[in-house]
Amino acid sequence: MHQPVQIDSTFIENHTDFNELIRLLQEAFAANSVIVPQRHHHDFPNPATTKDTTLLLMPAWNPGFEAGVKVVTVNPGNNQFELPAIQGSYLYMDAKTGVLKAIMEAKNLTAKRTAAASALASSMLSRPETKSMLMIGTGALSINLIKAHASVRPIEEVFVWGRNPAKATIICDQLKTEKFKTLPVNTIKEVISKVDLVSCATLSEQPLVLGADVVPGQHIDLVGAYKPNMRESDDGLLRRASIFLDVMEGGLKESGDIAIPLQEGLITKEDIKADLFDLCANKHSGRTDSTEITLFKSVGHALEDLIAAKYYYSKYN
């Protein structure tokens, strides 16, 4: 009987070429042949922690080729076990036979595909001469986002801000061997108006990227704030920016960055210019001029997981 291979976080880390992964995502969004059912979301009691555990199932199916499902649990009480709250695996299958081909570590796979999707959007929305970047947030995504963005634009200087300054310094130290310079900063405001690109990946419920601080020509990449009550941008930014999403359906309701302004009537669905499906299929041209402020809001999509899983499986074999 066929035994699935095990692909761990270290393998994923050591076998990522962002240019390759970005190209594969672009092809998949353009083709739009992957069937992605609605994400399953289930809450279950957890007597050990007295806090509910959430089970998330994210399937994707490319008929006749590959299929997969990401299985994730969110356990708010895991700190008492000294474990991360989010645990997960990706099950990669042959769509013709249903045979399970691989079990992959999901956290790093998700980080890589998320960063690659943001960089894919940047390749169509940021100015080609983009040379400087502000990274807001110091979590697992930050280094991936910096590297991915630098793979599609000639980044020379990266500023890093986090609520914990020590973490920002650690991020910069880990990127010392890269072709760009990295510098930790004490405040967002001191550099945000001086950079070409702003990437934000936090769990903030209060806006961090303000419309009053951004300048013409910038590209804003919003990756965090994944719940309807979370926001990384304020109303002022939404008023000034051309808004793009990774996927239309999820992007309109899953994050407060878009859902709250929609509910309050600040923007309408028609104000959303395009998503990655339209951009990659050349149904929308992306940035229109050098002074436009572009905003990309990402909530994640199971298509990205499947393409990343296929990519790492091909590297393994």
Encoded tokens for 3 = 């035994």
- Strand ranges of the sheet holding 132-136, from the earlier edge strand across to the other edge: 181-184, 157-161, 132-136, 197-200, 219-222, 294-297, 242-245, 272-275
With 0-12 CB in 10 A as exposed, 13-18 as middle and 19+ as buried, what is 194? exposed
Residue owning tokens 């700190």: 79
Q: How many CB atoms lie under 10 A from the CB of residue 134? A: 25
295 contacts 222 by C-beta, under 8 angstroms:
yes
Residue owning tokens 């309050």: 264
The reported pLDDT for the residue numbered 154 is 97
**pLDDT, tens digit only, all 317 positions of the chain:** 578 999 999 999 999 999 999 999 999 999 999 999 988 888 899 999 998 888 989 999 999 999 999 999 888 788 889 888 788 999 999 999 999 999 999 999 999 999 999 999 999 999 999 999 999 999 889 999 999 999 999 999 999 999 999 999 999 999 999 999 999 999 999 999 999 999 999 888 889 999 999 999 999 999 987 778 889 999 899 999 999 999 887 777 778 888 888 888 888 888 899 999 999 999 998 999 999 999 999 988 999 999 999 999 999 98
With 0-12 CB in 10 A as exposed, 13-18 as middle and 19+ as buried, what is 254? buried
- Cα 187 to Cα 5, 132, 144, 173, 311, distances in angstroms: 45, 16, 22, 19, 38
**Measured between alpha carbons, how far is 238 from 23 in angstroms, rounded to an integer?**
29
Closest CA to 220 of 257, 266, 259, 271: 257
Q: What is the pLDDT of residues 8-36, one digit of tens each?
A: 999 999 999 999 999 999 999 999 999 99
Orientation of helix 140-152 relative to helix 106-125, angle to 10°: 40
Closest CA to 110 of 314, 310, 300, 315: 300
With 0-12 CB in 10 A as exposed, 13-18 as middle and 19+ as buried, what is 123? middle
Q: For the whole model, what pTM was predicted?
A: 0.93
Q: Are strands 157-161 and 132-136 parallel, antiparallel or unpaired?
A: parallel
The reported pLDDT for the residue numbered 1 is 59
212 contacts 225 by C-beta, under 8 angstroms:
no
Neighbouring-strand partners of residue 6: 103
**Measured between alpha carbons, how far is 72 from 89 in angstroms, rounded to an integer?**
7
Q: Which domains does the chain have, with CATH numbers?
A: 5-109+304-316 (3.30.1780.10), 111-301 (3.40.50.720)
The reported pLDDT for the residue numbered 25 is 98
Instruction: Using DSSP, state whether 188 is helix, strand or coil.
Output: coil
Residue owning tokens 């951009």: 279
Which parts of 126-214 fold into alpha helices (H)? Answer: 140-152, 165-174
The reported pLDDT for the residue numbered 157 is 97
**Measured between alpha carbons, how far is 227 from 291 in angstroms, rounded to an integer?**
31
